Structure 1
Amino acid sequence: MSAYKSLFKQTFIYGLATVLPRMISFLLVIVHTKYFDDRELYGELSVVFAYFVIFNVLLTYGMETAFFRFYSNQPKSKQNDVVNTSTWSLIITSVIFLALAFLNLNSISQFLDIKADYLAYVIGILILDVLVVIPFAYMRANKKPVKFAVIKVTNVSINFLLNFFFLAWLVQLHSKFEFLEAIYVDDFQISYVFIANLIASLSSLVFVLPFYFKLKFSLNTKLLKQMLNYSWPILVAGLAFSVNEVFDRILLNYLLPEDNPKEIIGAYSACYKIAVFMMLYVTAFRLGIEPFFFSHSKSKQPEVAYATITKYFVIFGALILIGVVVFINPIKSIILQKESYYEALAIVPILLVANFCLGIYHNLSVWYKVTDRTKFGAYISTVGAIITLAVNFSLIPYIGYMGSAIATLAAYFSMMLISYLYSRKYYPIPFQLKRISLYFCVSVVISVISFYVMPENYIFGILSLLGYITLIYLNEKDEIKHMLQN
């Protein structure tokens, strides 16, 4: 099987492993917007999960990517050292965090302005999620995508079913059934969401317990030092990414001029979820591409393969961008169960383009990963985070959540551009820049016209979508045929 076919197969399977769970999680937006009493609750939940994302990055500190880097470069006799060292490193730091967090629970609660009960649940979920990081990475490194997919889908299925049980059945019907009344707690909706998440995370840990039964208590300190030297820039990059991805909710909570900012945050966060279609594609592609980058870095002319992969990422990403924007009205009717959430719908095209840029950046990041210059990832992400903060602080007081959407786009576009410029110096890749730029710009122009200039004009939208597909066919048909034949 050719390298491209192998990549597309891996991406497809990991895509299913990512898309199916995310789609089930996506259904949670429907449940939450339908059964939460008001937008304020959804806003409050979004702020808590923003902190969750940041702490998750801190607790994994780039060890997953470091695992891939060192595991793939070791002879088989040494690979167990990487597994044991990376796993025990995360276990030890998680135990320390758990002890410190619960000893200072009330102080942290006051500092973050999060209820102590919510914080306790979040700490539990964080620890459980960290403990499955290396087992999942081990599955990916050993090409076990089916097992990976089954566990991921089971996790989110349990989470969704418990959310539906607690919010739709228990909260809405407890007074009608005695057995539900016995377990019902008043004003407990957000806590129910965290309990469902906690149980789902515990189920994933149970599934990977065989991995821990085989684990040996072996901590190679020399190897750990090397892994930490490799991973710390990824930690910085991860923190910067988390700022770009979720810190806007926290800033909106403090900078919005409204008396009740969490209502606005609720609408913003719900509409933000519509951009998940691009996020799903980007995440699925990244999961498939990361092992490919490392395993093919020493092959003959890997740069040519990387350039081709990036082009096709842009082709399909542009297709998703146009498709979501053209059909955004039926999509919003399905996802957002109360019209009050439509208020922030104008952010969707901006965030779709922003995440498209982020996906291109992930493809471009191969240059600093395969050359062990991960510090550049930290530098570039930090620049993105600075842009995010600066634009948010500048625009939120004047244009509210639109400022946050613009900040996200500005950050991701800047990161994409900076990474491309550095790659030309340190790891030249023969990108088909004219075609990539053409596909990207055509999709953005069509989306802007379809949403802001000619909204709900399906004739224009569908004809534009067909026109884009025709453009791809005319330009790429020979190369696609050649790839499929090899």
Structure 2
Amino acid sequence: MIQLKKLAGQTAIYGVSSVIGRLLNYLLTPILTRPEIGGFNPGEYGVITEMYAYIAFLIVFLTYGLETAFFRFKQTNEDKKHVYSTALISLLLSSTLFIFCVFLFSFEISSFLGYPNNQEYVKWFSIIVGIDAVCSIVFAKLRYENKALKFSLVRVMSIAINIFAVLFFLIVCPLLQSDDTLSYLTKSFYNPQVGVGYVFIANLIASSATLLVLLSEMKGIRWGLNYILWKKMIRYSLPLMIAGLAGMINETVDRILLKKLLPSIKDISANPSGDIMYEIGIYGAFYKISIFMMLFIQTFRYAAEPFYFKYKKEKDSKKLYADVMKYFVIASSTIFLVVMINFDLFKHFIGTQFHDTRGFKIVAVLMLANYFFGLYYNLSIWYKLTDKTHYGAYISIFGAVITISLNLMLVPIIGIFGSAITTLVCYVTMTIVSFYFSRSNYKVPYDLRSISTYFILMIFIFMISQFYNLGEIINSIYILIFIFVAYVLEFKTKKIRTK
């Protein structure tokens, strides 16, 4: 129980910073989706959605699993300083090479993406991804050293800078330019034709500031690559990179494929113009609402990954991992109910141009999909702790095949809702497959009865809330019922154990 409280404490610190950061970032959505106050229409927002889908792939590719390898080899390698320096230097070299190559072939890359007149997009993103890749290992070091507060403060600072930069370029600069007496202040650096590009520039400024702040964590390292150690780390991490890339296919490829698959739709009732970028923008906006589940999973991951490795050799480690899973399910179920029961409230965070009758179904399915992704992440500890990371690659590739295949089948028929359904099917399948293999490789005594009970109870309460809608405030009773039942069941279980 002490270990669980420690994990909960670390998760809380990461969680508070992530929630604050995400909420600050989330507050940009009402601005970015409202053209009348400096934001963009669905078509322009679709460009942002698509470009950030690509950046998610590149982050995984450029970090090539070294974060997890860092935790793994920090536990077993005698020369612990060499683990950090080797990982950091490796990422510095690979990121520099990546940026150089992108600048060299910027025209070809931008043309391939469909933006031949915006080579600057790919150049900016190459620097952003390169910097973020290097920073990832520094953040991993902070997590390993339990410096959750510093980790959190730097994260929030980065997000705050990004937000202020976006607000400055999209709202302040246009106001200054429209004033004849003040327009000279922005004449040298502001061009309204850049449009969505200023969202990317703001990100570049924030990433650069983050790197500067983290430079202190790079002092005193051994500036030499331990080649023997590096080979061991790469051998461990490459399957994780493959798993990560396949995972990004599962998480983001829908927003990339939509551009290719949606033209085959003959009639889009909610979008009579048939504008493809409009559809991508709508899907991306509702994806923002479903991000609350992923936010919890991310904050949990920050604390859980080093936690799992540190307690690997403890006598009751497997029982501890089982308890973590159960409480994770309770928390995830609560988040699902909070968002979906109060959907009418959450949808106001996006502009009215983005309100769509398909929104509720899309968010519900994506929330459920992320719920199962969280279960899969918890289950994935077995192949990380047993050094069988190739299993993670196999499972993720299998999931990627499902994602691509079902998107190709469903999107031309039912549009963006098909992408949401595909994501759910993918994560449910990956969870089942991972659980199956874990039983024979690293059997953790998960409390399947309790997990199933909480999941069924969550679905039951959600369905009841749709048939008997009591209003936004009174609907909170449904959420309280779930929390009360979970408390009673856990209290009863704890009481039985102590007898």
| Structure 1 counterpart of 2:245 | 239
| Structure 1 counterpart of 2:435 | 420
| Structure 2 counterpart of 1:146 | 149
TM superposition shift of 1:344 = 4.1
| Structure 2 counterpart of 1:120 | 123
Give 1:204-219 correspondences, 5 Å limit.
204-219=210-225
| Structure 2 counterpart of 1:19 | 19
Structure 1 residue identity aligned to 2:298: T
| Structure 1 counterpart of 2:268 | none
CA distance in structure 2 between the partners assigned to 1:213 and 1:303 by the alignment: 37
| Structure 2 counterpart of 1:466 | 480
TM-score by length of 1: 0.94
Using the aligned pairs only, state the percent identity.
38
8 Å contact kept, 1:17–1:150? yes
Give 1:293-332 correspondences, 5 Å limit.
293-332=308-347
Structure 1 residue identity aligned to 2:490: E
TM superposition shift of 1:113 = 1.8
CA distance in structure 1 between the partners assigned to 2:424 and 2:154 by the alignment: 33
| Structure 2 counterpart of 1:430 | 445
Structure 1 residue identity aligned to 2:446: F
Deviations 1:155-199 (A, max 9, x none): 000001111111122235521242455243122221111111001
CA distance in structure 2 between the partners assigned to 1:181 and 1:89 by the alignment: 40
Judge which range, 57-66 or 210-219, deviates more: 210-219
- Does residue 476 (structure 1) correspond to residue 490 (structure 2)? The answer is yes
Give 1:30-109 correspondences, 5 Å limit.
30-34=30-34, 35-75=38-78, 78-109=79-110
CA distance in structure 2 between the partners assigned to 1:383 and 1:223 by the alignment: 30
Structure 2 residue identity aligned to 1:351: L
CA distance in structure 1 between the partners assigned to 2:421 and 2:159 by the alignment: 31
Structure 1 456/46 Cα, relative in aligned 2: closer, same or farther at 3 Å? farther
Structure 2 residue identity aligned to 1:111: F
8 Å contact kept, 2:33–2:354? no
CA distance in structure 2 between the partners assigned to 1:415 and 1:223 by the alignment: 32
8 Å contact kept, 2:62–2:133? yes
8 Å contact kept, 2:177–2:186? yes
8 Å contact kept, 2:286–2:363? yes
| Structure 1 counterpart of 2:10 | 10
TM superposition shift of 1:21 = 1.8
CA distance in structure 2 between the partners assigned to 1:449 and 1:239 by the alignment: 38
Deviations 1:277-313 (A, max 9, x none): 1111111111111111100010012110011110000
Judge which range, 472-481 or 279-288, deviates more: 472-481
- Does residue 133 (structure 1) correspond to residue 133 (structure 2)? The answer is no
Judge which range, 23-32 or 370-379, deviates more: 23-32
CA distance in structure 2 between the partners assigned to 1:331 and 1:72 by the alignment: 43
Structure 1 136/380 Cα, relative in aligned 2: closer, same or farther at 3 Å? same
- Does residue 188 (structure 1) correspond to residue 203 (structure 2)? The answer is no
Structure 1 residue identity aligned to 2:10: Q
Q: How many residues align?
A: 480
Structure 2 residue identity aligned to 1:313: F
Structure 1 462/482 Cα, relative in aligned 2: closer, same or farther at 3 Å? same
Structure 2 residue identity aligned to 1:93: S
8 Å contact kept, 1:271–1:342? no
8 Å contact kept, 2:82–2:222? no
Structure 2 residue identity aligned to 1:89: S
Structure 1 211/45 Cα, relative in aligned 2: closer, same or farther at 3 Å? same
RMSD: 2.0
Judge which range, 397-406 or 11-20, deviates more: 11-20
8 Å contact kept, 1:329–1:456? no
Unaligned runs of 5+ in 1: none
8 Å contact kept, 2:42–2:277? yes
| Structure 1 counterpart of 2:183 | 178
CA distance in structure 1 between the partners assigned to 2:134 and 2:473 by the alignment: 50
TM superposition shift of 1:260 = 2.0
TM superposition shift of 1:26 = 1.4
TM superposition shift of 1:108 = 1.1
TM superposition shift of 1:462 = 3.3
CA distance in structure 2 between the partners assigned to 1:141 and 1:437 by the alignment: 33
Equivalent residue in structure 1 for 2:350, among 327, 330, 336: 336
Structure 1 residue identity aligned to 2:199: V
Give 1:243-258 correspondences, 5 Å limit.
243-257=249-263
8 Å contact kept, 1:326–1:456? no
Structure 1 57/203 Cα, relative in aligned 2: closer, same or farther at 3 Å? same
8 Å contact kept, 1:353–1:409? yes
Judge which range, 313-322 or 207-216, deviates more: 207-216
8 Å contact kept, 1:88–1:217? yes
CA distance in structure 2 between the partners assigned to 1:37 and 1:470 by the alignment: 43
TM superposition shift of 1:433 = 0.4
TM superposition shift of 1:466 = 2.7
Structure 1 210/410 Cα, relative in aligned 2: closer, same or farther at 3 Å? same
CA distance in structure 1 between the partners assigned to 2:332 and 2:247 by the alignment: 20
TM superposition shift of 1:442 = 1.9
TM superposition shift of 1:394 = 0.3
Equivalent residue in structure 2 for 1:360, among 375, 388, 391: 375
TM-score by length of 2: 0.92
Structure 1 477/92 Cα, relative in aligned 2: closer, same or farther at 3 Å? same
Structure 1 residue identity aligned to 2:159: V
| Structure 2 counterpart of 1:288 | 303
- Does residue 224 (structure 1) correspond to residue 198 (structure 2)? The answer is no
Structure 2 residue identity aligned to 1:112: L
Structure 2 residue identity aligned to 1:271: F
Secondary structure, aligned partner of 2:193: coil
Structure 1 residue identity aligned to 2:150: K
| Structure 2 counterpart of 1:410 | 425
8 Å contact kept, 1:450–1:460? no
| Structure 2 counterpart of 1:442 | 457
Structure 2 residue identity aligned to 1:424: R
CA distance in structure 2 between the partners assigned to 1:317 and 1:94 by the alignment: 35
TM superposition shift of 1:120 = 1.0
